[in-house]
Structure 1
Amino acid sequence: MIRLESIGKQNGKQIVFIDASAALQKGEKIGLVGPNGAGKTTLFRMITGQEQPDEGQVAVDRGVTIGYFSQEVGEMSGRSVVTEVMDGAGPVSALITEMRALEADMGDPDKADEMDTIIERYGEVQHQFEELDGYSLDGRAREVLDGLGFSQEMMDGDVGKLSGGWKMRVALARILLMRPDALLLDEPSNHLDIESLIWLEDFLQNYSGALFMTSHDREFMNRICTKIVEIDAGSLTTYSGNYEFYQQQRAIAEKNQQAQFERQQAMLAKELDFIARFKARASHAAQVQSRVKKLDKIDRVEPPKRRQVVDFEFRPAPRSGEDVAQLKGVSKSYGSRTIYDGLDFHVRRKERWCIMGVNGAGKSTLLKLITGTTDPDAGTVSRGPSVKVGYFAQHAMDILDGDRTVFEQLQDTFPQSGQAPLRALAGCFGFSGDEMDKKCRVLSGGEKARLVMAIMLFDPPNFLVLDEPTNHLDIATKEMLITALSAYEGTMLFVSHDRHFLAALSNRVLELTSEGVRTYGGGYTEYVQSTGQEAPGLRS
């Protein structure tokens, strides 16, 4: 269906692709992986024709329809959410628009002379509309929106009043409703909660078209992708299997290449030593010349390309008392909507609670209550006297000074620390080289989140409260964060839609339900085994 044939691409001084080739066949589900800046989005833009390769070609079979979801959401306002989604449904949407115009013409007395032509055209359009199952479009649009977490009220509300994250979901719904021959999805798992993520996973598993996607969620990739295409140093390498299989194969290939490299280096050293020892002896001239020619003809084995992975180690957090936080008889409402009524909850030292609950269940509200960001309407919230709270939430970005660079922000926050540890800290969270000189005001939302996380973890509190800490983090940074938090000696309370993160770090689960709260003594893995569901209300 889609072929990338010996493509070359350069952006400014950066060489993105060199003689790179790959293909997407009918029905295949391929994950595209590579470090940030490797060219994943550039590849999608070349497939859709928004950019052209400098060399080679991108070939798309005639008649193949492509739906492309990117992180750039256009202007949305002036109509309902469901109308906005239906407008992206390709030919059906165009037919709806024409039918409405023809219906208006049929009621226009000034067009009486054209009525026969109008009625004839209306019949043709209506027939096409029925063939494309257009009358079910509204229902199908609402089904997709429901899967992505929209309430009926939101579906009929003004799309312009939605936040950026919800507009992303609208853009994703438009592409899914379109059902093209090939889906190109650039980070579709961003901005989704775990329930919507699992719904999308099921949708894509059952999708009959071809799929080419990027995602920072390894579990999502594992369950959907049957092939992985890796971008590395300008080349494209295809691996058959899911993300976990790709990791295993990549590790084996690196090990084999390293062994080949070392064997060849040993052989070359031996030959060069012989040449150096006997090059001045006339009796060995023929042998020396023969070995020099031999070395000139050898194809040199390159060492495996090493991805730079920086480990982050916590400074020891101060020890807290056994009682970290306690809620007694807490009630909280927003207007007429009651979130909690008489909630009791106790957090003890070294517990790692993950909070589960459907949209609107009160997950973020609970975190705000425990950190003192929000006061309860009734009841009490107390924290131990030696508890030092570190709270990561979206408003945490407000601590950044837009006029300071990334490195200046770190220096301002930790004036007693030397440059080396602060540069290492920045590197751990994806800031290296020129990126450390970026002004905070020009950072993306994901970059700001990474910088705030770095600041919070450099001088660690003994009670970490984290609201979706992995949003916008790539897989490598997530792995670094999980490794670091696994060694953390403090207490944790967190909300996350990343199942790998949940399983790796939780040892307690608090589930918020309409009937009240339920607690589980084990972590997320035990919760799934116990309940038979990966998220509230969803069967696994």
Structure 2
Amino acid sequence: MIRLENISKQNGKQIVFIEASAGLLKGEKIGLVGPNGAGKTTLFRMITGEEAPDEGQVSIDRGTTIGYFSQDVGEMAGRSAVAEVMDGAGPVSTVAAELAELEAAMVDPERADEMEEIIARYGEVQGRFEELDGYALDGRAREVLAGLGFSEEMMEGDVGGLSGGWKMRVALARILLMRPDAMLLDEPSNHLDLESLIWLESFLKGYDGAVLMTSHDREFMNRIVGKIIEIDGGALTSYSGDYEFYQQQRALAEKQMQAQFERQQAMLAKEIAFIERFKARASHAAQVQSRVKKLEKIDRVEPPRRRQTVAFEFQPAPRSGDDVVSLKNVGKAYGSRSIYDGLNFQIQRKERWCVLGVNGAGKSTLLKLVTGTAEPDAGTVNMGASVKLGYFAQHAMEVLDGERTVFEALEDRFPQAGQGSLRSLAGCFGFSGDDVEKRCRVLSGGEKARLVMAMMLYDPPNFLVLDEPTNHLDIATKEMLIKALSNYEGTMLFVSHDRHFLAALSNRLLELTPDGVHAYGGGYTEYVARTGQEAPGLRS
């Protein structure tokens, strides 16, 4: 259906692809992986025709419809979310627009003399609209928006009043409603809460078209794709299986390549030693020449390219008292909307609480109450003895000084630390080489999150409160963070939509539902096993 044949592409000085080939067949669901900057977005743009390869060609079967969701959603304003989504539904939206024009023409007295032609055309267009299931379009659009977390009020409101994250969901809904032959999805799991993520997973599993997607959520990718295409070093390599299988196969291939490289290096060393030893002896001249020629003809095995990952290790945090936080009869409302009424909740040392709840249930509000960034309307919130708090929230990224570089921001926070120590810290969180000289204003969302995390964890608190810490982080950085937090000796309270993160780190779970607050003694894995659901109100 879509074929990339011997494509080469260079962006400035960076070589992105060298004679790379891959294909997307009808109904295939493929995960596209590779380090940041490897060329995933460039590949999407070449398929959609926004960019052209320098060499080779991109072939698309005639009549194939393609829907492309990217992180750049453009301007949206002046229409309801429902209207915006329906407008992107492909041919049916064009027919709907003509139908609306003809309906307006039929009641326009100035066009009375054209009425016969207008009515005839209206009949044709209406037939085509019915053929495309147009009358069900509004209902389908609302169903998709509801699945992505929209309330009726948000569906009807002006899309221009929505935040960037909600506009992303509108753009995604347009592609889902369109149901093209092939969907190209660039990070569709960003900006989604757990409930919306699980709904999208179910939608894509049931979708009969082809999917080529990137995602920083390994669990999401594992459940959808049956094939992985990896971009690395300008090449495209295909692996049959999900992301988990790809990781195993890649590690195995790397091990085999390393063994092959080492065998050849040992053989070369032996041959070179023989040549060096006997090159001055006339009696061995023929043998020496023979071995020199043999070495010249050998195809050298390259060592496997190793992706640089730096492990971050916590310094030991000071010990807190056994009672970390206590909430007693807490009440909190925003206007007429009550979030909490008589909430009692306690956190003990070394507990790792994850908080689940649908949009608006009060997850972030709970974290704000615990950290003192919001005051309760009733009741008390008491922090225990010797508690040193570290709070990661999305707004923390907004207070970075845009004119300071990454390294200067770290120096400002830790003036007593040595340069080597701070460079090592920056490297652990993905800022190596010239990256430390980037100004904070040009950092991506993921880079800002990593910098704030580095600042928080260098001098570790004994109580970590994390609100969606994995937003914008790639899979490798998430793995590094999970590994570091697994060895963390302190107490945690966190909200996350990443199921791998939830399962790896929680040992307690707090579920916020309309029926009240429920606490579970085990972590997320035990919660799923006990309730049969992956999120409040959703059956798995």
What interval of TM-score do these two structures reach, taking the shorter chain for normalisation? over 0.9
Q: Which residue does 1:292 correspond to in 2?
A: 292
CA distance in 2, matches of 1:398, 1:185: 27
CA distance in 2, matches of 1:355, 1:405: 34
Measured after TM superposition, the shift of residue 102 of structure 1 is 0.8
CA distance in 2, matches of 1:393, 1:173: 27
Query: SS in structure 2 opposite 1:285?
Result: helix
Query: SS in structure 2 opposite 1:256?
Result: helix
Query: SS in structure 1 opposite 2:169?
Result: helix
Alignment TM-score, normalising by the size of structure 1: 0.99
Measured after TM superposition, the shift of residue 539 of structure 1 is 1.0
Q: Which residue does 1:460 correspond to in 2?
A: 460
Q: Which residue does 2:53 correspond to in 1?
A: 53
Please, which runs of 5 or more residues in structure 2 have no aligned partner? Answer: none
CA contact (8 A) 2:9 2:16 kept: yes
Measured after TM superposition, the shift of residue 444 of structure 1 is 2.2
User: Does residue 392 in structure 1 map to residue 392 in structure 2?
Assistant: yes
Letter in 2 for 1:167: K
Letter in 1 for 2:228: I
Q: Which residue does 2:521 correspond to in 1?
A: 521
Measured after TM superposition, the shift of residue 112 of structure 1 is 1.5
Q: Which residue does 1:234 correspond to in 2?
A: 234
User: Does residue 401 in structure 1 map to residue 408 in structure 2?
Assistant: no
CA contact (8 A) 1:388 1:462 kept: yes
Structure 1 residues 270-315: Cα deviation after superposition (integer angstroms, max 9, x where no partner): 1111111111222211111111111111111111110001000111
CA distance in 2, matches of 1:194, 1:396: 22
Q: Which residue does 1:357 correspond to in 2?
A: 357
Aligned sequence identity (%) = 80
CA distance in 2, matches of 1:309, 1:442: 23
User: Does residue 343 in structure 1 map to residue 360 in structure 2?
Assistant: no
CA distance in 1, matches of 2:31, 2:95: 34
Q: Which residue does 1:151 correspond to in 2?
A: 151
CA contact (8 A) 2:182 2:210 kept: yes
Measured after TM superposition, the shift of residue 399 of structure 1 is 3.5
CA distance in 2, matches of 1:377, 1:398: 27
Matched residue count: 540
CA distance in 2, matches of 1:133, 1:19: 43
CA contact (8 A) 2:323 2:385 kept: no
Query: SS in structure 1 opposite 2:511?
Result: strand
Structure 1 residues 53-91: Cα deviation after superposition (integer angstroms, max 9, x where no partner): 111111111110000000001100001000000000011
CA distance in 1, matches of 2:260, 2:75: 54
Structure 1 residues 167-198: Cα deviation after superposition (integer angstroms, max 9, x where no partner): 00000000000000000000000000000000
Structure 1 residues 241-275: Cα deviation after superposition (integer angstroms, max 9, x where no partner): 00000000001101111111111111111111111
Measured after TM superposition, the shift of residue 445 of structure 1 is 2.3
Please, which runs of 5 or more residues in structure 1 have no aligned partner? Answer: none
CA distance in 2, matches of 1:427, 1:97: 54
User: Does residue 212 in structure 1 map to residue 206 in structure 2?
Assistant: no
CA contact (8 A) 2:351 2:508 kept: yes
CA contact (8 A) 1:31 1:214 kept: yes
User: Does residue 429 in structure 1 map to residue 433 in structure 2?
Assistant: no
Q: Which residue does 1:42 correspond to in 2?
A: 42
CA distance in 2, matches of 1:17, 1:161: 40
CA distance in 1, matches of 2:116, 2:430: 66
CA distance in 2, matches of 1:270, 1:457: 49
Measured after TM superposition, the shift of residue 332 of structure 1 is 0.5
Q: Which residue does 2:366 correspond to in 1?
A: 366
Q: Which residue does 1:67 correspond to in 2?
A: 67
Structure 1 residues 332-357: Cα deviation after superposition (integer angstroms, max 9, x where no partner): 11111110000000000000000011
Query: SS in structure 2 opposite 1:356?
Result: strand
CA distance in 2, matches of 1:5, 1:139: 41
Q: Which residue does 1:200 correspond to in 2?
A: 200
Query: SS in structure 2 opposite 1:449?
Result: helix
User: Does residue 312 in structure 1 map to residue 312 in structure 2?
Assistant: yes
Query: SS in structure 1 opposite 2:3?
Result: strand
Q: 1:113-512 alignment to 2 at 5 Å?
A: 113-512=113-512
Q: Which residue does 2:106 correspond to in 1?
A: 106
Measured after TM superposition, the shift of residue 361 of structure 1 is 0.6
Query: SS in structure 1 opposite 2:75?
Result: coil
Which moves more between the two structures, 105-114 or 169-178?
105-114
CA distance in 1, matches of 2:493, 2:530: 21
CA contact (8 A) 2:193 2:497 kept: yes
Letter in 1 for 2:284: H
Q: Which residue does 2:85 correspond to in 1?
A: 85
Report the CA distance shift for 1:107/1:399 in structure 2 as closer, same or farther (over 3 A): closer
Instruction: Flag as ranges the 4+ runs of structure 1 deviating above 6 A.
Output: none
Query: SS in structure 2 opposite 1:416?
Result: coil
CA distance in 2, matches of 1:120, 1:521: 68
Measured after TM superposition, the shift of residue 371 of structure 1 is 0.4
CA contact (8 A) 1:81 1:155 kept: yes
Letter in 2 for 1:284: H
Query: SS in structure 1 opposite 2:146?
Result: helix
CA distance in 2, matches of 1:313, 1:390: 16
Measured after TM superposition, the shift of residue 398 of structure 1 is 3.7
Query: SS in structure 2 opposite 1:52?
Result: coil
CA contact (8 A) 1:428 1:477 kept: no
Letter in 2 for 1:257: M
Measured after TM superposition, the shift of residue 433 of structure 1 is 2.0
CA contact (8 A) 1:240 1:246 kept: yes
Measured after TM superposition, the shift of residue 434 of structure 1 is 2.2
CA distance in 2, matches of 1:167, 1:428: 33
Measured after TM superposition, the shift of residue 330 of structure 1 is 0.3
Measured after TM superposition, the shift of residue 437 of structure 1 is 1.1
Letter in 2 for 1:418: G
Letter in 2 for 1:315: Q
